Structure 1
């Protein structure tokens, strides 16, 4: 199942919020690590979408400039 960068960013914000409210150091650290991981996933998902869009745009351009066959 593919998730959007917005989903991952929301989880990162949620983990940061939990970290800021944590009273135990290990819980705070766990949530900060989770936030960093979620943000990394969001960044990766955004890059994937950008690459797909660029590739699709390139393929659309290629369709109009490809060699023609005489028949």
Structure 2
């Protein structure tokens, strides 16, 4: 499991915990945590995408 998959799994776990709790403040805490994990996953995906673009540009420049 790579980091992005781990982040998405953690977000899902937080959403599941939010769905199971009866206390609103705890539910909101889990939902905020899920949003943070999703943001981290999105950032990691963006970084991978930019890395691939930069590597492709470097390869083209070296030809």
Note the aligned Cα RMSD (angstroms).
1.0
Moved over 2 A (4+): none
The answer as to 2:2 corresponding to 1:9 is no
In structure 1, stretches of 5+ residues that fail to align are: 65-71
Work out the number of aligned pairs and report it.
62
TM-score, normalization: structure 2? 0.92
SS at match of 2:25: helix
Higher helix share: 2
Which residue of structure 1 lines up, in the alignment, with residue 40 of structure 2? Answer: 41
In structure 2, stretches of 5+ residues that fail to align are: none
Structure showing greater Rg: 1
